């Protein structure tokens, strides 16, 4: 049976744009519910400026309260070496470092050009991880489409990725459709090019949004290109505060349902995930999205319900 | 440039499930706005029992009030020869006749088994159209998935279609994902099989729903198989009163935007369509769906908006 890895990003990517600050207790409960659903990889939070993103100021405390999560890789977003040091102190060595492929979006996101972010990554790794104990996922924001620049030039993005990959082997690249405006042919062609071109040097996942309704189409395109790792957010929470019009991440429930119906093993228990989704949906200020949550459970996996029962 | 035909089904498939009866004036205004958007083919209503579907009781009046629509093929759904005669009297010769590929759904929809509907189509055409002046689209409901029977057997569906195609050459088959639960691989494989197997005998379109978020993925799958005609409903109105959990049709706005971004000519003016969508969305009791309507116009076609303007 084919398998797919689904990384739950709701506790970071989802909660960071909720205008209200979610209490630490609630975050811990949500993460525990998601762990119970079977996720083996999850974004737990970020170590960024508490002034810029107060929603994530308690990530260290969340991590401490959670304690060890056997068999689960807890990840944290870090924007620079200061954040990376804080993450390591909190016991997190799976880091997500975001670099926008579009200069405009990188400037909007972290107030510096893309090349400065790459240089910062290089310096940071040399400083804090000379022994290569960290696991790095590079979030390649606006891989396909930028809210400011439009459709991205594939050759330029690939060349930028080459410069990042040159920093060290073994990085994981997250091909990210930040705006949800990527087209499936673009996703499939570019994913294939990357998997071939970086074979043995880097691994890949796909991070999408369903803003324009292309979410599942793009997931399928990446899957067909050979990508076997995808991001989802419980209840379709999320978006990007620096990408106007970019709404929720692809809902984890939609990913699990879709892959299950494809006959692909996700390792996620949909019933427990739907329960976790109720916690997410009940958060003050949460904007949820996704489809599976609105489909009656007995029909969710595409089974029939006999006519006499359904009438 | 590749071209695609988009048939607007909102005035029939969309309005029929709104619990309130939309005034004839409003229907005429909506249809005129859709014609102005550039649709060359549209479901104007249905000639069914006014008791069963009171929302469509004024289809004859709507047609009369509209008068000739040069260059536009106005279609009407008919369930039997009585309806067909009424449609012809109203000047409509483009008919949609729905037959469910699933017996359970056909029984739920029109209270008889699939074979009885096929026999009725045969009798009706012999009676009222010996000279073959009518144009027939056969809406193959539950082609892929049935709310009662689950995933449909491709061989059985194909065999049923063969029996329908034997009635006369030149029918158009609407491969319909009534529940929105069809999987893209199924849609692509079966569409390809049909296009090949019925080549020269029948033509095809795809009718989908975005219930599970697979709408655009399935449209792309059918397109890749060679289908060049698709149904959409303005503002994502619609559903199926006899298919529990089946929500809106794929929004026409989403189809137009997606195909435009693929470089495929739709013939539809997105701005005028968005205006028509406002009429649809303002209808009392309307449940709208779709994505494009929520994306700022300047970003809708995937162009960039310079950073200084966006900030």
> Is residue A98 scored above 80 in pLDDT?
yes
Q: Cα dihedral sign for A50, A54, A55, A58?
A: positive
Q: How confident is the model at residue A39 (pLDDT cuts 50, 70, 90)?
A: very high
Across the interface, which of A179, A213, A257 has its CB nearest the CB of B254?
A213
Cβ contact, residue pair A307, B210, below 8 Å: no
Rounded mean pLDDT, A23-43: 98
Q: Cα dihedral sign for A209, A212, A216, A217?
A: negative
B residues 100-129 lying closer than 8 A (beta carbon) to A: 104, 107-108
B216 in contact with A, Cβ within 8 Å: yes
The strand ranges marked E within chain A are 5-8, 41-46, 73-77, 94-100, 135-141, 145-146, 150-151, 171-176, 202-207, 229-232
Distance of CA B71 to the CA centre of its chain: 19
* pLDDT tens-digit readout, B236-252: 998 655 555 567 899 99
B146 in contact with A, Cβ within 8 Å: yes
User: Domain range holding A15?
Assistant: 5-310
Distance to chain B for A204, nearest Cα, Å: 22
Q: What angle do CA A71, A75, A79 make, to 5 degrees?
A: 165
* pLDDT tens-digit readout, B13-24: 999 988 889 999
Q: How confident is the model at residue B173 (pLDDT cuts 50, 70, 90)?
A: very high
Distance to chain A for B7, nearest Cα, Å: 19
Q: What is the CATH number of the domain that holds B192?
A: 3.20.20.70
Q: How confident is the model at residue A288 (pLDDT cuts 50, 70, 90)?
A: confident
Distance to chain A for B289, nearest Cα, Å: 11
Q: What is the dihedral of CA A111, A115, A119, A121, to 10 degrees?
A: 70
Distance to chain A for B65, nearest Cα, Å: 36
Cβ contact, residue pair A304, B245, below 8 Å: no
> Is residue B178 scored above 50 in pLDDT?
yes
Q: Are A138 and A182 in contact (CB under 8 A)?
A: no
Radius of gyration of chain B (CA): 19
> Is residue A109 scored above 90 in pLDDT?
no
Kindly report the pTM of this predicted structure: 0.96
* pLDDT tens-digit readout, A232-279: 999 999 865 555 555 789 999 999 999 999 999 999 999 999 999 999
Q: How many CB pairs under 8 A join A and B?
A: 127
Top-confidence residue, A197 or A288: A197
Q: How confident is the model at residue B37 (pLDDT cuts 50, 70, 90)?
A: very high
Q: Count the domains in chain A.
A: 1
Rounded mean pLDDT, B55-71: 96
Predicted confidence at residue B149, as pLDDT, reads 95
Across the interface, which of A184, A291, A303 has its CB nearest the CB of B212?
A291
Predicted confidence at residue B311, as pLDDT, reads 44
Predicted confidence at residue B17, as pLDDT, reads 87
Cβ contact, residue pair A307, B148, below 8 Å: yes
Q: How confident is the model at residue B263 (pLDDT cuts 50, 70, 90)?
A: very high
Which residues does chain A have within 8 Å of residue B144's beta carbon, measured at their own beta carbons?
none
Predicted confidence at residue A310, as pLDDT, reads 47
Distance to chain B for A211, nearest Cα, Å: 7
> Is residue A130 scored above 80 in pLDDT?
yes
Cβ contact, residue pair B216, A214, below 8 Å: yes
Predicted confidence at residue B53, as pLDDT, reads 92
> Is residue A194 scored above 50 in pLDDT?
yes
Which residues does chain B have within 8 Å of residue A147's beta carbon, measured at their own beta carbons?
299, 304-305, 310
Query: Among A146, A194, A205, A240, which one carries the catalytic annotation?
Result: A240
Q: How confident is the model at residue B152 (pLDDT cuts 50, 70, 90)?
A: very high
Rounded mean pLDDT, B210-230: 97
What percent of chain A has a predicted confidence (pLDDT) above 90? Answer: 86
Give the count of alpha carbons within 13 A of B36, CB side only.
Answer: 14
Predicted confidence at residue B238, as pLDDT, reads 85
Cβ contact, residue pair A213, B184, below 8 Å: no
Q: Mind spelling out the 3-state secondary structure of A49-105?
A: CCCCCHHHCCHHHHHHHHCCCCCCEEEEECCCHHHHHHHHHCCCCEEEEEEECCHHH
Active site residue B240: yes
A260 in contact with B, Cβ within 8 Å: no
| Complex confidence, ipTM | 0.95
> Is residue A37 scored above 90 in pLDDT?
yes
Which residues does chain A have within 8 Å of residue B147's beta carbon, measured at their own beta carbons?
299, 304-305, 310
Which residues does chain B have within 8 Å of residue A214's beta carbon, measured at their own beta carbons?
216, 258
> Is residue A2 scored above 90 in pLDDT?
yes
A residues 173-212 lying closer than 8 A (beta carbon) to B: 179, 181, 183-185, 210-212
Cβ contact, residue pair A212, B291, below 8 Å: yes
Top-confidence residue, B244 or A18: A18
Compare all CA atoms of chain B with the CA of A301 and give the residue at the minimum distance. Answer: B181
> Is residue B293 scored above 80 in pLDDT?
yes
What percent of chain A has a predicted confidence (pLDDT) above 70? Answer: 96
Cβ contact, residue pair B295, A108, below 8 Å: no
Cβ contact, residue pair B254, A147, below 8 Å: no
Predicted confidence at residue B310, as pLDDT, reads 47
């Amino acid at each position: 049976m084919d398998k797919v890895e689904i990384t739950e990003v709701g506790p970071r990517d989802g909660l960071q744009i909720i205008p209200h600050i979610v209490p630490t207790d609630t975050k811990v409960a949500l993460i525990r519910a998601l762990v119970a659903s079977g996720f083996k990889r999850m974004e737990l939070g970020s170590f960024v400026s508490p002034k810029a993103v107060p929603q994530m100021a308690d990530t260290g405390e969340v991590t401490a309260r959670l304690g060890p999560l056997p068999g689960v890789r807890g990840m944290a977003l870090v924007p620079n070496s200061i954040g990376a040091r804080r993450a390591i102190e909190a016991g997190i060595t799976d880091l997500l470092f975001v670099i926008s492929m579009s200069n405009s979006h990188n400037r909007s996101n972290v107030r510096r050009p893309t090349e400065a972010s790459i240089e910062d990554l290089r310096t940071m790794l040399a400083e804090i991880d000379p022994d290569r104990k960290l696991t790095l996922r590079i979030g390649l924001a606006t891989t396909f489409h930028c809210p400011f620049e439009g459709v991205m030039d594939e050759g330029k993005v690939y060349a930028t990725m080459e410069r990042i990959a040159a920093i060290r082997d073994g990085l994981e690249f997250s091909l990210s459709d930040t705006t949800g405006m990527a087209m499936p042919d673009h996703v499939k062609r570019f994913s294939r090019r990357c998997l071939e071109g970086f074979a043995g040097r880097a691994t890949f996942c796909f991070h999408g949004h369903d803003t324009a309704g292309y979410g599942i189409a793009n997931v399928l395109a990446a899957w067909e290109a050979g990508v076997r790792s995808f991001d989802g957010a419980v209840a379709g929470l999320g978006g990007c505060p620096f990408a106007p019009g970019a709404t929720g991440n692809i809902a984890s429930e939609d990913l699990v349902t879709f892959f299950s119906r494809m006959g692909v093993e996700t390792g996620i228990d949909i019933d427990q995930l739907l329960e976790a989704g109720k916690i997410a949906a009940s958060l003050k200020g949460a904007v949820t999205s996704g489809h599976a949550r609105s489909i009656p459970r007995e029909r969710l996996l595409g089974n029939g319900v006999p006519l006499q029962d359904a009438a």
